[in-house]
Structure 1
Amino acid sequence: MYPNLYYAFRDLLGLELPFLKIFQTFGFFVAIAFLAGAYILTRELKRREQLGMLTGIPEKIVTGLPASQGEIIGNAVVGFLLGYKILGIFFNWDTASQDLQGFVFSSQGSLFAGILLAAAMGGYKYYSKKKTAKAKPEEHTVLVMPHQRVPDIIVMAAIAGLLGAKIFHNLENWNDFVQDPVGALLSFSGLTFYGGLIVATIVILSYAKKRKINIRALIDSAAPALMLAYAIGRMGCHFSGDGDWGIYNSAYTIDTNTGHTLKMAPANFNDAIQKNAAFFQQQYPSIDRIPHAAFEKPAALGFLPDWLFAYGYPHNVIKEGVQLAGCEGQYCKVLPMAVYPTPLYEILGCLVLFFVLWAIRKKIKIPGVLFGIYLILNGIERFFIEKIRVDTRYDIFGYHPTQAEIISTLLVIGGIVLITIYRKSNAASNKLS
């Protein structure tokens, strides 16, 4: 596993670049997911604009204005934060390199670097606007197309998605949140995808309505982008080892000396648990009720590696497990028993579903139906992966679903309802015409 990009470059390329410790692997893949989603969304919006399904709206803009106090102060504040923290890391490298995440969320930094960068960015805004300022500012009317609003949509999706993901995760793990609310809110781990999706959807639809963007064409354009972004985001979960893995596969164990996956007779699962009882007692109220399911790699798939079926996530970013022999540093833990690498399954599954949506997007003629199909596919995928994932379960009339199972079921139902409504409304429109 690669907790941050320093470990990835060291292991894959043999390069030791300490400054890369700043960049968390999970955050890196989330950024790539947003960029990929933005690219696909932009392409689809442009295509639908050419088909006449989306149109722009005229907006008035004023050119030739000097920089306002708000713009200068805003740039200066951003510059101060970047200088105080990012440049502060280099000015305090001996301290910061020990725990970069802790340094970023502490009060430590470089006041000198903060003031310097604040002055530079505030001054740059002032002088760059001064160059284009006119004695008499001019007002223009421009036609703004939906695809030109993608940067705004992505920024809103990122902020709203992060807040929603944090809120839903902490609601799902309320006891952990109560014990350490500050740590739970500021940690890089602990994000619930559906929470982010729900909150971001509400915010973006409100924005689209305000900007008079055709909602049905917008959500159809977003369907493939969302599926691809989710697949890439799960790469961050897998390659960082953020704890978003499955239950134990009792047909395998882990060699804690090397971190490698080894086959084991399922009957020996309890004996193996007892060998690492101290770890499991911290994780579960009773080590007699540890969730597990045995599934050995089929002989017909003998060419596939064992870690595709069971994995120990050595060097995981959340530092969970037992000590790896001979390892020194922050990230030296490996799970003592092999788990199902569910993020890997979701990566593969959602990439396939992305290509399915991409292949049928031009064949679906009724606006809104493609998004309904996305909801159904996404809900089914997540519902079944939950069967081998570790998640908090609720007690609802004798059933014990996870939060994701509840939401994924609602997504499937919602997708069916959307498709039904949009098909009926399309049929009614055709009759009237």
Structure 2
Amino acid sequence: MFAALNPIALQLGALEVHWYGIIIACGVLLAIYLAIREAKKRDVSEDHILNLVLWSLPFALIGARTYYVAFEWQYYSQHPDQIIAIWHGGIAIYGALIASALVFIIYCRLHDLSIWLVLDIAAPTVMIAQAIGRWGNFMNQEAFGGVTSRAFLAGLHIPNWIIQQMYIGGAYRQPTFLYESCWNVIGFVIIMLIRHRHHLFKQGEVFFTYVMWYSFGRFFVEGMRTDSLYLVGNLRVSQLLSVILFVGALAVWIYRRYRSAAPWYLEGNLNAAINNKE
């Protein structure tokens, strides 16, 4: 039987550098680069983007861990020493996104920035970072689905090295990491192709598109995974949250589109334009 790919990219004495960390870092760096490029076009300072990254990353990590621990409290209440042992695994992307959103809101209020505009700038870059990050799960052989056959995987026309890595625990598994990654790539491409069209998006609506696209796909992918967090019975936390986010984003979009005078996305940072005139 084929050996799994080594999750450790580099070892220097006792120091181990994992592919997971390298892949996540690459996703974050690409997201920062794309966000800075777009921010300049929308009259948002590069410094604001870098400050948001510096503030949101640690809180995103804390949020991701807190979310996971909260829904696995039955275990962690009996093993409190493991709560901070993040190196043993156990983080949730929804927790990271919620914590990051709170940091964005606070920062934008303190610096007189439109939170909707900033979220619009960040949304597609976060989506591509998520798509890349799922390959860290691939290297760790985690976030996979139920048992399947090699014939099924071959029928997906995916490379053999992916099929080999999906042999986990004595059986081939559904590559749910791949499904979510591809879904996010498609969403990223669509948003990037249409967000600069005139009178298409008002500020906030690029973000709502991201939320609805991601939550819709995550709902179905989560239903295939074998490592889900559960609320009660067979109710998966991420599926419930996906429904709430999708409905919530759609409702706010409709309300703001017809009941508020939100500026168009392409108008950018109106405060900066006013200050420049002065």
Matched, 1:217 2:53: no
In 2, the alpha carbon distance for the partners of 1:358 and 1:303 equals: 26
Offset at 1:20? 9.4
One-letter amino acid matched to 2:174:
Y
Alignment of 1:3-22 (within 5 A): 3-6=7-10, 18=12, 21-22=15-16
Instruction: Give 2:96's match in structure 1, choosing from 196, 208, 229.
Output: 196
Tell me the TM-score normalised to structure 1 length.
0.54
| Higher share of residues assigned helix | 2
Matched, 1:186 2:85: yes
In 1, the alpha carbon distance for the partners of 2:12 and 2:120 equals: 43
What does residue 46 of structure 1 align with? 40
Alignment of 1:256-405 (within 5 A): 262=150, 296-297=152-153, 305=160, 307-308=162-163, 311-313=166-168, 335-363=169-197, 364-390=200-226, 391-395=228-232, 400-405=234-239
Matched, 1:171 2:70: yes
Offset at 1:341? 1.8
Deviation per CA, 1:355-374: give whole Å up to 9, x if none: 11111111234111111111
Matched, 1:240 2:240: no
In 1, the alpha carbon distance for the partners of 2:263 and 2:112 equals: 22
Q: Does the CA-based 8 Å contact 1:369-1:418 persist in structure 2? A: no
Offset at 1:177? 1.6
What does residue 29 of structure 1 align with? 23
Structure 1: give runs of 5+ residues left out of the alignment. 7-16, 55-144, 253-261, 264-295, 314-334
Alignment of 1:405-424 (within 5 A): 405-424=239-258
Structural RMSD (CA): 2.6
Deviation per CA, 1:41-67: give whole Å up to 9, x if none: 111111111xxxx5xxxxxxxxxxxxx
In 1, the alpha carbon distance for the partners of 2:103 and 2:235 equals: 28
In 2, the alpha carbon distance for the partners of 1:213 and 1:428 equals: 14
- Give the secondary structure class of the aligned counterpart of 2:177: helix
Offset at 1:181? 2.6
In 2, the alpha carbon distance for the partners of 1:153 and 1:383 equals: 28
- Give the secondary structure class of the aligned counterpart of 2:232: coil
In 2, the alpha carbon distance for the partners of 1:357 and 1:378 equals: 12
In 2, the alpha carbon distance for the partners of 1:377 and 1:247 equals: 24
Offset at 1:235? 1.5
Q: Does the CA-based 8 Å contact 2:20-2:137 persist in structure 1? A: yes
Report the CA distance shift for 1:214/1:428 in structure 2 as closer, same or farther (over 3 A).
Answer: closer
Offset at 1:26? 1.5
Offset at 1:182? 2.3
Offset at 1:185? 1.8
In 2, the alpha carbon distance for the partners of 1:311 and 1:429 equals: 47
Which aligned segments of 4 or more residues in structure 1 are displaced greater than 2 angstroms?
17-22, 178-184, 296-299, 301-310, 392-396, 425-430
Q: Does the CA-based 8 Å contact 2:154-2:163 persist in structure 1? A: no
In 2, the alpha carbon distance for the partners of 1:405 and 1:307 equals: 26
What does residue 330 of structure 1 align with? none
Identity between Structure 1 and Structure 2 (%): 23
Offset at 1:29? 1.7
Of the structure 1 ranges 417-426 and 198-207, higher mean CA displacement relative to structure 2 is found in 417-426
One-letter amino acid matched to 1:395:
V
Instruction: Give the aligned length.
Output: 256
Deviation per CA, 1:115-149: give whole Å up to 9, x if none: xxxxxxxxxxxxxxxxxxxxxxxxxxxxxx3x222
In 2, the alpha carbon distance for the partners of 1:309 and 1:379 equals: 29
One-letter amino acid matched to 1:150:
I
Higher relative contact order (CA 8 A, sep 6+): 2
Report the CA distance shift for 1:384/1:186 in structure 2 as closer, same or farther (over 3 A).
Answer: same
One-letter amino acid matched to 2:113:
I
Offset at 1:230? 0.8
Deviation per CA, 1:90-112: give whole Å up to 9, x if none: xxxxxxxxxxxxxxxxxxxxxxx
Deviation per CA, 1:385-427: give whole Å up to 9, x if none: 011112133337xxx3211101111110122022112211456
Which entry has the higher C-alpha Rg, 1 or 2? 1
Report the CA distance shift for 1:366/1:350 in structure 2 as closer, same or farther (over 3 A).
Answer: same
Matched, 1:155 2:54: yes
Structure 2: give runs of 5+ residues left out of the alignment. 265-278
Report the CA distance shift for 1:245/1:176 in structure 2 as closer, same or farther (over 3 A).
Answer: farther
- Give the secondary structure class of the aligned counterpart of 1:338: strand
Alignment of 1:92-107 (within 5 A): none
In 1, the alpha carbon distance for the partners of 2:94 and 2:68 equals: 9
Q: Does the CA-based 8 Å contact 2:147-2:171 persist in structure 1? A: yes
Report the CA distance shift for 1:193/1:302 in structure 2 as closer, same or farther (over 3 A).
Answer: closer
Q: Does the CA-based 8 Å contact 2:256-2:262 persist in structure 1? A: no
What does residue 268 of structure 2 align with? none
- Give the secondary structure class of the aligned counterpart of 1:199: helix
